[in-house]
Amino acid sequence: MTAPNNADAGAPAAGALDQLTARHLLQLWDDQQSTYVAHRDLRFAAMIDVLRLHCPDDLTILDLACGPGAITDRVLAAFPQAAAVAVDYDPILLRVARGALERYGARAEVHDVDLTAAGWERALAGRRINAVLSSTALHWLAPEQLLRVYTTAARLLPAGGVLLNADHLRYDESAPTLRDIASRHDAQVQREAFATGALTYSAWYAEAARHPELAGLAAQRQRRFADRPPQALSPLEFHLAALRTAGFAEVGTVWQYLDDYVVFARR
């Protein structure tokens, strides 16, 4: 595992995407993700509501595994005085995020960070944050890695700070009917979306690779994730227990649609 590499954080790199192209790829990403997460915008609306009702207007967020910047883009648009530190380990998504978030200037920082590496929080450079957010991303972590990330997040947040994690938290064998309903609903949503031209996850990366600024990053991406197979999705109960173990004082959910949740934790 490599340590966080922040040398190019927030600065245009050689081969940087222009903002228009990056914004287009971010929109395609949002459309693609919405085929896998029904009512995806509602989970973001719930997260924004929690921030608006609980945090100061000039809050600073930490966006974990930010992808092309979907959460940070929404938060900075909703809170004109807010700032964000967005981190990811996928070189293609990082390049898109830097271009897509360029419109926010110094309010948005994007860092190349491996959440499985010790000391990843150094990307914050001691900055005080009010909220830690993530969406459809932390399921790539093994359970012990997720607990470490939650523990680090708890340590970074001040008293009253919040964590919001939106993700699929699958029903287990104790709820076979709900598990079947959720699975068939996912299949229906995807079938209808793909029929209207929505990209699949892999097709989005193929579209990104059409741009010369991104094509050369495919091999680096493959090397970085070669030894990181997808993990079995942990149920809601695991996340709530892990957050309590990590040191959060209050945990629960603020949104649910079938097996898709926004998990909440307050420091």
Domain boundaries, the chain: 19-266
Which has more confidence, 4 or 94? 94
- The closest of 95, 56, 94, 88 to 75, measured between CA atoms, is 56
Which tens digits make up the pLDDT trace of 192-206? Answer: 999 999 999 999 999
Which tens digits make up the pLDDT trace of 70-97? Answer: 999 999 999 999 999 999 999 999 999 9
Task: Give the number of C-alpha atoms closer than 13 A to the C-alpha of residue 122, restricted to the C-beta side.
Answer: 12
The superfamily in CATH containing domain 19-266 is Vaccinia Virus protein VP39 (3.40.50.150)
pTM for the full predicted model: 0.92
- The closest of 48, 254, 234 to 131, measured between CA atoms, is 48
Whole-angstrom Cα distance, residue 214 to residue 230?
Answer: 23
- The closest of 241, 88, 237, 225 to 151, measured between CA atoms, is 241
Q: E strand or H helix at 18, and its extent?
A: none
Which tens digits make up the pLDDT trace of 37-72? Answer: 999 999 999 999 999 999 999 999 999 999 999 999
What percentage of the chain's residues is helix, strand, coil (to nearest 5)? 50, 15, 35
Asked if residue 2 has pLDDT above 70, the reply is: no
* Confidence (pLDDT) at 228: 83
* Confidence (pLDDT) at 189: 96
Written as one letter, the residue type at 120 is W
| Contact predicate 166/39, CB 8 Å | no
What value does the CA radius of gyration of the chain take, rounded to a whole number of Å?
18
Whole-angstrom Cα distance, residue 252 to residue 21?
Answer: 38
| Contact predicate 267/247, CB 8 Å | yes
